[in-house]
Amino acid sequence: MSDEMPVRDSVTIVGASLAGLRAAETLRRDGFPGRITLIGDEPHAPYDRPPLSKQLLAGDWEVDRISLSPTERMSGLDLDMRLGQRATALDVSAHTIDIEGVAEGYDCLLIATGARCRTLPGTEGLAGVHTLRTLDDSIAIRDALRSGPRRVVVVGAGFIGAEVAATAVGYGAPVTMVEALPVPMGRVLGDTVGDVVAGVHVDNGVDLRCGVGVDEVCGAGRVESVRLSDGTVVEADLVVVGIGVIPNTDWLDGSGLTVDDGVLCDETCLAAPDVTAAGDVARWPNPRYGEVMRVEHWDNAVEQGAHAARRLTLSDEEAEPFSPVPWFWSDQYDRKVQLAGRPRPDDEVSVVDGSFEERRFAAIYGRDGRLTAVFGMNRPRQVMQYKGLLERGASWSEALEFAEDQI
């Protein structure tokens, strides 16, 4: 790219998602006067996803409460909003994008197409088997839980699976949660902290099965049971599968972009001249960690959407790296779970407030003399304090000294 940016008459954003909407808002807030086209494959206007597995699923909120786009706010953005339309191809050299098979030109492009849920083979068309990614998914699972006593099997004990299990318990349903790892979230949090998270579910009556996979979901047209890899059979009326996601990049085959577990960008979120990516679909080298990462959290979608939008208006010399501290939270039962940073299961772990036994604590992670993460359960103030240290690049010894000062 040249040092001087050409005049931009328009921006096309593919993905009527949180990242896509924040990108549009950022452009308008920064004074971009041109046309902004926001394209989304769902028929719904942009909405917030975290409540899908919590407040909306529990029936505590109605659909209108999760909207990210009240009418007055959207009209102020002056967007060419095109919902229910799917991007099907891209040619970065020709500066064209196909929408439902029709090629259109673009000045610059922001990709925020998110990700889709992994599924269990052999469950296609089997009633009572769900994934949870969209508003329609959440409503379908909620309706099933409301319709009467249900034996629920949740496959996967990651954050989405854990939230669904906790919400289903609130309906009075017997819940079995199946996790292939020996300890839930052990690959992220390590076994010690993962065991504490597992204990919260067991305390609340969940039948937690770890170290076991799913061989088959059984039923004649509708799910009746789940056969596990250890040979046991769990009866089920409702199965929710939460075993991770796949970035939505199939439409980018042959586009000229590098696609590798997402759209590969440089450290400024630029994927190609005049093309950026943000949110669950973007993979970029975060210079804070010296690691190429793809982050599937709400806060990342907000911040990266804004950063990727601004990147389209800047020259190479003006552009700055996108180097956030990843940040996430989850609500399960009466516990608020928060994680900041980039922990590894072999990091050193130190409890700096509370205790594992009472399930109310803050624990910090360290590696190679650096503070790498903080995990909290009902300790929001402490988590935010250590998140500040992470943003400053604090050492492990500095974090321990800070903890001593708080006693």
CA dist 13 and 22 (Å) reads 11
The rounded percent of the chain whose pLDDT value lies above 90 is: 94
In CATH, what class is 119-243? alpha beta
Mean pLDDT for 23-32 is 96
DSSP structural state of residue 335? E
Task: For Cα atoms 379, 200, 207, give the angle at the middle one, nearest 5 degrees.
Answer: 160
Question: 331 is written with which tokens?
Answer: 């609500």
- Structural domain boundaries of the chain? 10-116+246-311, 119-243, 334-406
Residue 12 CB neighbours (<10 A): 24
Mean pLDDT for 1-6 is 43
Query: Which residue, chain included where needed, has tokens 């010296």?
Result: 290
The pLDDT of residue 78 is above 80: yes
Among candidate residues 363, 379, 368, 385, the one with its CA nearest the CA of residue 194: 363
The pLDDT of residue 375 is above 90: yes
Mean pLDDT for 57-84 is 90
The pLDDT of residue 396 is above 60: yes
The pLDDT of residue 216 is above 50: yes
Among candidate residues 34, 197, 15, 162, the one with its CA nearest the CA of residue 90: 15
Chain center to CA of 374? 19
The pLDDT of residue 3 is above 50: no
Domain at 10-116+246-311: CATH architecture: 3-Layer(bba) Sandwich (3.50)
Mean pLDDT for 209-216 is 97
Mean pLDDT for 387-392 is 97
Tell me whether domains 10-116+246-311 and 119-243 share a fold: yes
CA dist 309 and 265 (Å) reads 14
Mean pLDDT for 46-64 is 95
- Confidence (pLDDT) at 5: 44
> Amino acid identity, residue 17?
S
Q: Please give the residue that has the higher pLDDT: either 2 or 261.
A: 261
- Confidence (pLDDT) at 285: 98
CA dist 331 and 337 (Å) reads 6
The pLDDT of residue 390 is above 90: yes
The pLDDT of residue 18 is above 70: yes
Look up the CATH superfamily of 334-406: FAD/NAD-linked reductase, C-terminal dimerisation domain (3.30.390.30)
Question: 256 is written with which tokens?
Answer: 């000229």
- Confidence (pLDDT) at 381: 96
pTM: 0.94
Q: What is the pLDDT of residues 113-152, one digit of tens each?
A: 999 999 999 999 899 999 999 999 999 999 999 987 789 9
Query: Mean pLDDT score of the chain, rounded to an integer?
Result: 95
Q: What is the pLDDT of residues 85-120, one digit of tens each?
A: 999 999 999 999 999 999 999 999 999 999 999 999
Core vs surface per residue 110-141: b (16+ CB within 10 A) or e: bbbbbbebeebeebeebebbbbbbbbebbeeb
CA dist 190 and 342 (Å) reads 12
Q: Please give the residue that has the higher pLDDT: either 406 or 214.
A: 214
Q: What is the pLDDT of residues 221-275, one digit of tens each?
A: 999 999 999 999 999 999 999 999 999 999 999 999 999 999 999 999 999 999 9
- Confidence (pLDDT) at 7: 56
Give the start-end residues of each E strand in 334-382: 335-341, 348-355, 360-367, 370-377
- Confidence (pLDDT) at 2: 39
Q: Are 110 and 24 in contact (CB under 8 A)?
A: no
How many helical (H) and strand (E) elements, i.e. helices and strands, does the chain have?
10, 27
